[in-house]
Structure 1
Amino acid sequence: MAWYHTFFEGLPQQAWKQNQDEEHTDWEVDFLVDVLELAPADRVLDVLAGYGRHALPLARLGYLLRCVDISEEYCEELRQAAQAEQLPLEVLQGDFLQTPLPEGTYPAAYCLGNSFSFFPREEMQAFLNQIGRALAPGGRFVAHTQQLAESVFPHFQERSWMPVGEDIQYLSQNEYLPLEGYIESHLTYVRGAERTTRTIRQYVFTLAELTAMLKQAGLTVLETFSSLEGDAFTLGDEQLYLLAIKE
């Protein structure tokens, strides 16, 4: 079983949510509406949706959201939030690679929050193929990652720590395994007397590799950005927002 099947539970899940900035999320939502060229009542696929950080505000704008995530806790939270506001939002709980989706249906899809690095190469191709099949011809896809090779290696740190929210400390010990092409990180979350340690693997791809895999999935890269302001991505930039279109 892959690490992400059980990671988003308890303290790590709470830490991830506390670390999100609402203003930045609002900027990302505006960015999605713009670059995905969303039209009123468009059907939108949120891949690895979490607790709906982007899906809920998009549904409030009238778009029809279908959200897929593996975390039972996040999915239940998202369902309850959508039901409370009677939003046009459907939640599917499960592994995205195993989730049946109608083909050629969605004019737009996105995968934000740095979850674009969970899969080894064979599974990554299957992941992108799943998105490619679900998109309608001319449909657009946006992905975000901080694990691109051009971003990671110029700034690689073996150890780091940071406060999360008001009461959680997050410590990370990282090792890059070049033969396997992933970073193995031992993460420790501390809140008072509570301590949780998890091990994760995040796979590192070059932009050229991602572009080739997207092409194999029927998706052509249109633009690559390093910021929500639309700055072009260059070597050493800490994050990538990638926009692709279904051929």
Structure 2
Amino acid sequence: MANDNISLQESLPAPSVSESKTETELIIKDPNILKQALLEKVKSLMNVRGEIALPCVPAMLDEYLQLVQNLLKTLGQNLNEENFNNLKELITKGLTEGYKLSPHARLLVSFLPAEEAKGLASGVTINTKVLVESVADKYQQWPQIRQEPLFGSHPDAKVMKIAAEIGEPKTTTILDIGAGTGRNTIPLAKLGYPVDAIELTPAFIEKLNTEINNQNLPVKVIQGDILDPLLRMKVARYKLAIASEVLSHFRYTEQVRLFLAKMCDTLRSGGLLLFSAFFAIDDYEPDNFVKEMSEVSWSYIITRKELQAAMEDLPLELISDESVIEYEQKHLPPEAWPPTTWYVNWAMGRDLFPISKNPPMELRWILLKRI
């Protein structure tokens, strides 16, 4: 969106040239008057330029307004009712637009003097701008800022177990959604399974293609988003589809339903769908604030009721539902656990709820069968 701005300006009374000698004497006798004048002079010599990047979480509007108000107060700027309403409208608009575009959007709130030559004595102009980043944009930076292996050195134990049970590798094509750099794709292909790997991030695709070509593996790489209606897959092609650490990037129950419906189309009768997702535990019902924050934290959380609603009238049967942490820790070799330094806290839900106790959510393996 284009920059939006408001100016918070204070107007000083016009100087008088007709004050009497008596009034001047009173000013001299009251040092507070002169001190206040000097403080105004200091204000005119002060300058400020700064920027705050706020996650576009509409439920945080009140907290963000308080944050900006406190900052302005520190800068000697007090909001009147009109100023406050203008500021609220500006931030509300930015948060709403940013959230609609991406859960990874940021609202940039910048501050500068209303008039450069007069410094803070002229008031402050506030500018807002929405910076939009997609999941692919965020992941594109990972090879530069994170240590290898990005997602772990071994494939998911659950993925390999299910794959071993579905049939002869050479005649069993597998769909790997959100393949990343190939943590599951490469080991499956080495066993002889033809794999179609869907991935969004160009940097990951480059790494994946390099490995595929070096080892001459039976993998077809498809760049795209599984939720994109234009991404079509062959009907009844796969015996197994996997989506490890993918649904954590979803945003709505409707997206879960779309995902499941597309899997029903592309899986053979009797085929299996294995995916991991964050589920609310027990009777915990996430409110709107939690939902919005879960999207920002790459930890999209759903309830069992929402999964059931997403599966309604689809030819799917629930086969198993188990803790990812418990299963992977038990079945991965010792040197492979944990897969990364961040994995355990993330899988427990602590990226969303940074608390020492167990958050009311956890990453679960869900196995469904196409009836």
Q: Percent identity?
A: 23
Change (3 A) 1:94 1:39: same
Equivalences for residues 1-247 of structure 1 within 5 A: 1-2=101-102, 3-11=134-142, 15=146, 18=149, 20-23=151-154, 25=155, 27-34=157-164, 37-41=166-170, 42-98=172-228, 99-112=231-244, 114-119=245-250, 120-145=252-277, 147-150=278-281, 178-179=287-288, 182-184=291-293, 199-200=296-297, 202-226=299-323, 227-228=326-327, 238-247=362-371
- The TM-score with structure 2 as length reference comes to 0.49
Rounded Cα–Cα distance in structure 2 between residues aligned with 1:80 and 1:148: 35
SS in structure 2 at match of 1:84: helix
The Cα of 1:102 is off from its aligned counterpart by 0.6
Which runs of 5 or more residues in structure 2 are unaligned?
1-100, 103-133, 332-358
- Is the radius of gyration larger for structure 1 or structure 2? 2
Rounded Cα–Cα distance in structure 2 between residues aligned with 1:6 and 1:89: 24
Counterpart contact for 1:181–1:203, Cα < 8 Å: no
**Deviation >4 Å, runs of 4+:** none
SS in structure 2 at match of 1:96: coil
The Cα of 1:17 is off from its aligned counterpart by 5.2
The Cα of 1:103 is off from its aligned counterpart by 1.0
Change (3 A) 1:182 1:17: farther
The one-letter code matched in structure 1 to 2:291 is Y
Higher helix share: 2
Rounded Cα–Cα distance in structure 2 between residues aligned with 1:84 and 1:75: 14
Higher strand share: 1
Change (3 A) 1:131 1:180: farther
Deviations 1:78-137 (A, max 9, x none): 11111110000000001112211011111110111x221222122221122111111011
SS in structure 2 at match of 1:110: strand
Counterpart contact for 1:29–1:57, Cα < 8 Å: no
Deviations 1:43-65 (A, max 9, x none): 00001111110010000000010
Rounded Cα–Cα distance in structure 1 between residues aligned with 2:168 and 2:183: 20
Which runs of 5 or more residues in structure 1 are unaligned?
155-175, 187-198
The Cα of 1:14 is off from its aligned counterpart by 5.2
Change (3 A) 1:20 1:11: closer
The Cα of 1:211 is off from its aligned counterpart by 3.5
Rounded Cα–Cα distance in structure 2 between residues aligned with 1:17 and 1:111: 21
The Cα of 1:143 is off from its aligned counterpart by 0.7
- The TM-score with structure 1 as length reference comes to 0.71
The one-letter code matched in structure 2 to 1:245 is K
- Over the residues paired in the alignment, what is the CA RMSD in angstroms? 3.1
Counterpart contact for 2:174–2:240, Cα < 8 Å: yes
The Cα of 1:13 is off from its aligned counterpart by 7.5
The Cα of 1:200 is off from its aligned counterpart by 4.7
